[in-house]
Chain A
Amino acid sequence: DTGVSQDPRHKITKRGQNVTFRCDPISEHNRLYWYRQTLGQGPEFLTYFQNEAQLEKSRLLSDRFSAERPKGSFSTLEIQRTEQGDSAMYLCASSFTGGANYGYTFGSGTRLTVV
């Protein structure tokens, strides 16, 4: 286990379709975070889990977005009825409890393009 893995790396979808991304965190980490990054901007927080519990959701996470971490291990982020504004890099990160200064590691992201 060498880092945070995200799948797929790239996804092109037609507007209105549903998409699902997967994140496999570092196995010892109990916190998992999702961020969104648009071109030329810093990542923006979407949501985070501690074990299987989703503890916080950003206002950026509209009703079309849902995230799960069913067994406290991997997580999925689903976007329903995609819109062109959803085009972005979706980043996953994981850490130990204690957060940002405890092994906070990002994956390489999933690049979503909505056409």
Chain B
Amino acid sequence: QQQVKQSPQSLIVQKGGISIINCAYENTAFDYFPWYQQFPGKGPALLIAIRPDVSEKKEGRFTISFNKSAKQFSLHIMDSQPGDSATYFCAASSETSGSRLTFGEGTQLTVNP
């Protein structure tokens, strides 16, 4: 299966709060799991990515948690800011499939001031 399922569809948090977005996948051949941020009228921009040989990766306020056995991964945004308001997509790929990305459905994040 090539699907990547993402939840929630939308998320509203207060400034300074933690935003958590979850994704689940089926294809065990996936070996790369990026998160993308997209603003209206723009293409997706890579935020952070992880490979399945690690369980967590942190870059600044952004952390990916990865659970290989459950085939799930999540994005945590610490100290969320109004400028983080955007649509977030998880994705997955495998080199054996030419590294085309399979995206989740997206999460519309709104951070209230």
B-contact bits for A34-73, CB 8 A (1 contact / 0 none): 0100001111110010100001100000000000000000
Q: How far is the CA of A93 from the CA of B45 in the complex (A)?
A: 10
- Asked if A98 lies at the interface with its beta carbon under 8 angstroms from chain B, I say yes
Complex interface: chain B residues within 8 A of A101 (CB): 32, 34, 49, 51, 99
Contact A56–B43 (Cβ < 8 Å): no
Count of A-B contacts judged by CB separation below 8 Å:
70
Q: Is B83 an interface residue (CB 8 A)?
A: no
Q: In the complex, what residues of A have CB within 8 A of residue B91's CB?
A: 42, 100
* Cβ proximity bits B59-87 to A, threshold 8 Å, 1 near / 0 not: 00000000000000000000000000000
Once A41-B105, A41-B106, A42-B104 are accepted as A-B contacts, the answer to whether A100 and B43 lie under 8 Å apart by CB is: no
Report the bound CA distance from A41 to B87 in whole Å.
10
Residue of A40, A42, A48, A107 near B43 (CB, 8 A) is A107
64-115 of chain A: CB within 8 A of chain B? 91, 93, 95, 98-101, 104-109
Closest to B103 in A: A42
**Contacting residues, chain A, for B17 (C-beta < 8 A):** none
B1-53 CB contacts (< 8 Å) to partner A: 6, 32, 34, 36, 41-46, 49, 51
Contact status B43-A109, CB under 8 Å: yes
In contact, B101 and A48 (Cβ under 8 angstroms): no
Residues of chain B contacted by A43 (CB below 8 angstroms): 44, 89, 101, 103
Q: When the two chains form their complex, are residues A108 and B43 in contact, meaning their CB atoms are under 8 A apart?
A: yes
Residues of A within 8 A of B (CB): 4, 31, 33, 35, 40-45, 48, 50, 55-56, 91, 93, 95, 98-101, 104-109
